[in-house]
Structure 1
Amino acid sequence: MSQTSADTNLKATAGYSIEEGNAASRNAYEWAQKTFATRAGKPGEPARDLAGGFSNEIRFGNERLGIGSDGIGTKIEVAERLDRYDTLGYDLIAMVADDLIVAGFVPTNLSNIIDVNTLDYTVVDELMHGLHDAAQFSQIAVTGGEIAELGNRIGGYPGARMNFNWCSTAVGVLHPSLERPLSGANVRAGQAVVALHSPSFRSNGYSLARRALTKAFGEKWHEAPYSEENAAGLNVDTQHLTTANAKTWGEVMLAPSLIYSPGIAAVLDAGLPLHAAAHITGGGLADNFKRVLKNGVGAELSNLFEPLPAMQQLALLAGITPPEAYLYWNMGNGMLLVTDHDEAAAVVASLRGNGYRAQVAGRITAEPGVTLQVGAGELRYEG
């Protein structure tokens, strides 16, 4: 079975359009590029050849730093519904730290801004406690921030202690083993693709998920019971919130993002080759991976991690087709790495040794486009 994103009206399903979002991002980046000349030959000069990624390089003499910005998005509403805020720091750091590491920048510092309707000290304390724990895990120093009270300019779930939006900017330093950032320029046919498992939805695709859950369970969907089939055979973490130990759909959707940057930095520390990496966020596997397939090459991914049971259940409940699900959710795969075929096993071993689930997922092909061989059949996304 061959399917593509053109088979369905994705905007009607999700409430937003990936294509329109990509077009707006390209336009915004074109305006941003027009400012690069202001720092030409001066400290802070940006790189001009990293278009398509989610972070960029800035140069201070011989020092090459990376910078990127992102936020948690509508996952915040899940925290408001459950009145639990101590996990969102992992999502905030994952979104920026993992955008940096896929370009070869080891994250070092983060600044954040919390825009609120009216301030609640205890909610902010819970947010920052979680951010502290995530920063410790990823070896990042939180060196700046602001809390802004904006009144009715900020909305959210009615009755929450505090409605807010949370965004951050992170910087990192180019790994010393790299001469230039990872951009996909060295990706060639025959190289191997390694996948890292994602134990949650991360912080993307939540507009589609919330619409699907509301359709299936009504407005109080976060209270709907959830059980993971065959959970008895899983290694369930009982200390931290995961989709496997969740008791409600709200807990499923709140399960925090796994931060990959320490594991990728360890791969580089070991001197193992990486030619490109893709952080699987909004747009799913194909859209994000195509950003680093820059030499007219493509990929065939026939050994990806299986979608999380929660994703499979949600797709069935809401009538979401496989092409839609693989465009809006990570489907159990949070990052893809490109390495030499002969070094793929060593890369997997390094990642596993640092506590990550990893496996060789496929190969780079001479033909453009991304083909996914999954349980639902063959999904083809043109280059």
Structure 2
Amino acid sequence: MQKTPLTYRDAGVDIDAGDALVDAIKPLARRTLRDGVLAGIGGFGALFEVPKRYREPVLVSGTDGVGTKLKLAFEWDRHDTVGIDLVAMSVNDVLVQGAEPLFFLDYFACGKLAVQTATQVIGGVAKGCEQAGCALIGGETAEMPGMYPAGEYDLAGFAVGAVEKAGIIDGRSIAAGDRVIGLASSGAHSNGYSLVRKIIARSGPGELPTTLDGQDFRSAVMAPTRIYCKPVLKALAQHTIKGMAHITGGGLSENIPRVLPENVQCVLDPSTWGQTELFAWLQREGGVSDEEMRRTFNCGVGFVLIVGADEAEAVLATLRAEGETGWVIGQIESRPSAEAHQVRYTA
């Protein structure tokens, strides 16, 4: 008995849909082009030339995903901002060492390619690249039947930045008396969503608030991660910044110590920035302790800069002029012993 001929489409992979997606995202990527791009989407490899203004460029790379925030994107059919989250998680990490993000690549994997949904996602990636000032120069779309449930996908991203060798920010000069500046987050960003989802599920649809922080509930929960690159790079060009931290998984308590010398600790005053409605609701509804909140969420502070006491107000003024909301949220003190925590709270 002669068997029916099979095609790749019969196996679940639609090459035509993949081609349609590439055609849809090319104009989105084109909007992110910047100096250094030699060849972008469409080739086997993307080409980028480090801008000639760098004398001793050091490349800084970062990679990340969006995590279980994607489960809410699937459930609520909100796909237009998770691409911004994807870019933000990598470019904000690269920024911590003083690097300017140069280019970004994404990886989009699904069981069956839905061109409209994928275009929304990659549109968010392009928007995030525009916010960061980096070029979207390549990526990969993987359609893998049987690997993902219908309607679901996964995302990964990879960013490369450059910094002058002499300008690398490594935290080694941080000393007692320095001030800690916190920049406002736009929400939970892309961390702690396994707990967020559990709190939402336990509350039930009828018990959820209508609005939080001036937005409808779902918009507040899904607010894309803030990208700090352009304002912070402006501050770096004008002021001496000793150390920086991107407040991601581990929250304030575990990310700030990553840039501190062993002999100091950071003392934070939570009253200086207050608590947003979103985080107040999560803490109240979930019965989450202060300690657990601070090691899970950014708690309203998405990025931290550490500067000399005499520079703090000038740095804040520059950041505010660039559209950031920020505060002096604490200071650096001598660490009393090796056993002492490197982040302490006044309340």
Could you say which TM-score interval applies, normalised by the shorter chain? 0.7 to 0.9
User: What is the Cα-based RMSD across aligned positions, in Å?
Assistant: 1.8
TM-superposition CA deviations, 1:217-260 (whole Å, max 9, x none): 1xxx5x864244xxxxxxxxxxxxxx523323x33221111101
The aligned counterpart of 1:29 is: none
CA–CA separation in structure 2 for the residues paired with 1:346 and 1:117: 51
TM-score scaled to structure 1, two decimals? 0.72
Equivalent position to 2:216, from 234, 243, 247 = 247
Equivalent position to 1:349, from 317, 325, 329 = 317
Question: Does the 8 Å contact 1:78/1:253 carry over to 2?
Answer: no
CA–CA separation in structure 1 for the residues paired with 2:110 and 2:301: 32
The aligned counterpart of 1:277 is: 244
The answer to whether 1:131 aligns with 2:102 is: no
The aligned counterpart of 1:216 is: 203
Cα shift at 1:199:
2.1
Question: What percent identity do the matched residue pairs reach?
Answer: 30
Q: Which has the larger radius of gyration?
A: 2
The amino acid across from 1:319 in the alignment is: G
The amino acid across from 2:214 in the alignment is: N
Equivalent position to 2:84, from 56, 80, 90 = 90
Cα shift at 1:304:
4.1
CA–CA separation in structure 1 for the residues paired with 2:186 and 2:220: 10
Cα shift at 1:62:
3.3
CA–CA separation in structure 1 for the residues paired with 2:192 and 2:272: 19
The aligned counterpart of 1:35 is: none
The amino acid across from 1:139 in the alignment is: G
Equivalent position to 1:286, from 246, 253, 256 = 253
Structure 2 CA distance for partners of 1:152 and 1:294, relative to 1, 3 Å = farther
Question: Does the 8 Å contact 1:185/1:295 carry over to 2?
Answer: no
SS in 2 for 1:323: helix
SS in 2 for 1:345: helix
Cα shift at 1:61:
9.4
SS in 2 for 1:277: strand
The aligned counterpart of 1:370 is: 343
CA–CA separation in structure 2 for the residues paired with 1:245 and 1:194: 25
The aligned counterpart of 1:47 is: none
Which runs of no fewer than 5 residues in structure 2 stay unpaired? 1-53
Cα shift at 1:306:
1.6
TM-score scaled to structure 2, two decimals? 0.79
TM-superposition CA deviations, 1:79-105 (whole Å, max 9, x none): 111112111122111100100001111
The amino acid across from 1:109 in the alignment is: F
CA–CA separation in structure 2 for the residues paired with 1:286 and 1:261: 22
CA–CA separation in structure 2 for the residues paired with 1:263 and 1:252: 23
The aligned counterpart of 2:13 is: none
The aligned counterpart of 1:226 is: 209
The answer to whether 1:171 aligns with 2:160 is: yes
The answer to whether 1:333 aligns with 2:301 is: yes
Question: Does the 8 Å contact 1:190/1:363 carry over to 2?
Answer: yes
Equivalent position to 2:171, from 180, 184, 195 = 184
Q: How does 1:46-61 map to 2 (within 5 A)?
A: none
The answer to whether 1:103 aligns with 2:92 is: no
The aligned counterpart of 1:153 is: 147
CA–CA separation in structure 2 for the residues paired with 1:61 and 1:275: 22
The amino acid across from 2:201 in the alignment is: T
Question: Does the 8 Å contact 2:106/2:138 carry over to 1?
Answer: yes
Question: Does the 8 Å contact 2:200/2:208 carry over to 1?
Answer: no
Structure 2 CA distance for partners of 1:295 and 1:226, relative to 1, 3 Å = same
Question: Does the 8 Å contact 1:106/1:173 carry over to 2?
Answer: yes
Equivalent position to 1:122, from 88, 106, 116 = 116
Structure 1 residue ranges, 4+ long, deviating more than 6 angstroms after superposition: none
Structure 2 CA distance for partners of 1:187 and 1:135, relative to 1, 3 Å = same
Question: Does the 8 Å contact 2:81/2:223 carry over to 1?
Answer: yes
Question: Does the 8 Å contact 1:225/1:247 carry over to 2?
Answer: no
The amino acid across from 1:290 in the alignment is: P
Question: Does the 8 Å contact 1:226/1:246 carry over to 2?
Answer: no
Q: How does 1:60-99 map to 2 (within 5 A)?
A: 62-99=56-93
CA–CA separation in structure 1 for the residues paired with 2:111 and 2:105: 20
CA–CA separation in structure 2 for the residues paired with 1:114 and 1:268: 33
Cα shift at 1:286:
1.2
Which runs of no fewer than 5 residues in structure 1 stay unpaired? 1-59, 229-242, 379-383
Equivalent position to 1:256, from 203, 217, 224 = 224
Cα shift at 1:341:
0.6
Cα shift at 1:146:
0.4
CA–CA separation in structure 2 for the residues paired with 1:314 and 1:267: 33
Structure 2 CA distance for partners of 1:307 and 1:290, relative to 1, 3 Å = same
